[in-house]
Amino acid sequence: MPASRTPAPSGTRPARSLKPFGYGAAVAAAAVLLGFVSYTATKPDDSTTGGRSVADVSAEPDAGVYPELEKLARRDAADPLALGRADAPVVMVEYADFKCGYCGKFARDTEPELIRKYVEKGVLRIEWRNFPIFGEESEAAARAAWAAGRQGRFWQFHKAAYADGAKEKGFGEQQLRELAAVAGVKDLARFTRDADSEEARQAVARDQEEGYGLGATSTPSFVVNGRPIAGAQPAGTFVDAIEAARKAVTTEPAGPESAPTALAPGATAPGTPAPGTTAPGTTAPGTPVPGTAGGE
């Protein structure tokens, strides 16, 4: 008789084997953090959480920063799923699902504040990663968002899909077309073709594998300049992480003091007066100060 399996908690997907992208021990450590923290962090339906507005479990505010995780930032200026300058000092990578209630709360309540305070001022760049974990409709919505991005309307689609009541209507084909129309996608026939294309599937799969490689098993999950954050935390958590990252980038470490230069025998350092002379603006011991008689 096969051994029984413990089902994964509601709102999470069974963890895949981790693929740490060759980043080494730092990614493995972050995978443990995100995997553990996000295990029950986010539920797909807010009604199952008693109306709580933030995730049940969160990363510690002073969680470690893993410099190797900064490599996750693609900084592609042509990426339609990114918002903000490609050379911004801080990059927040967001792994999210359009059927995730907490992702919607973050998109409506917290993200606009971060955009106003940091993205519009060139400090922050937000890079979206499609991380559908709640089944076929999640996958379809992710591909649709990617397709909207092909026509430069990803963030408008993002706003429409996360509007109050949108996910309750489901993400069937007709609903996705309606969301695309609300988002201002001009060519809906192309949108439908793009959303159903192999290219869309590969793009979503790439983002998924990246998230699973970090140990994320629920949404939303974030990496801010190498600092992992799990769950739709209060705005202050993200502000603190962004400010810390900005400070780390703009503060140059003090360099080592210069060691004295060794001189060849008989040589003098640059600017050293020759024997029997004094440097300009100085007087030799016992020399009268100008304007005095014999120093008296």
In a domain, 112, yes or no: yes
Average pLDDT, the chain: 76
Please check whether residue 98 is in contact with residue 138, taking contact to mean a CB–CB distance below 8 angstroms: yes
In a domain, 215, yes or no: yes
Per-residue pLDDT tens over the stretch 231-287: 999 999 999 999 999 999 987 554 444 333 333 334 333 343 344 433 333 333 343
In a domain, 257, yes or no: no
In a domain, 130, yes or no: yes
Per-residue pLDDT tens over the stretch 129-141: 999 999 999 999 9
In a domain, 183, yes or no: yes
Q: Is the pLDDT of residue 227 over 80?
A: yes
Which position has the higher pLDDT, 120 or 217? 120
Which position has the higher pLDDT, 174 or 10? 174
Domain tally for the chain? 1
Q: Tell which residue, 97, 96, 189, has the closest CA to residue 140.
A: 97
Q: Tell which residue, 226, 230, 240, has the closest CA to residue 95.
A: 230
pLDDT at 214: 86
In a domain, 223, yes or no: yes
- Residue 94, domain extent: 65-72+79-250
Report the percent of the chain where pLDDT is more than 90. 58
pLDDT band at residue 26 under the 50/70/90 scheme: low
Classified as helix, coil or strand, 128 is: strand
Q: Is the pLDDT of residue 3 over 90?
A: no
In a domain, 191, yes or no: yes
CATH code of 168's domain: 3.40.30.10
Which helix (H) or strand (E) is 22 found in, with range?
A: none
Pairing status of strand 227-230 against strand 124-130: unpaired
Helix axes 198-213, 136-150, angle to 10 degrees: 110
In a domain, 5, yes or no: no
- pTM confidence score: 0.71
Report the percent of the chain where pLDDT is more than 70. 64
pLDDT band at residue 34 under the 50/70/90 scheme: low
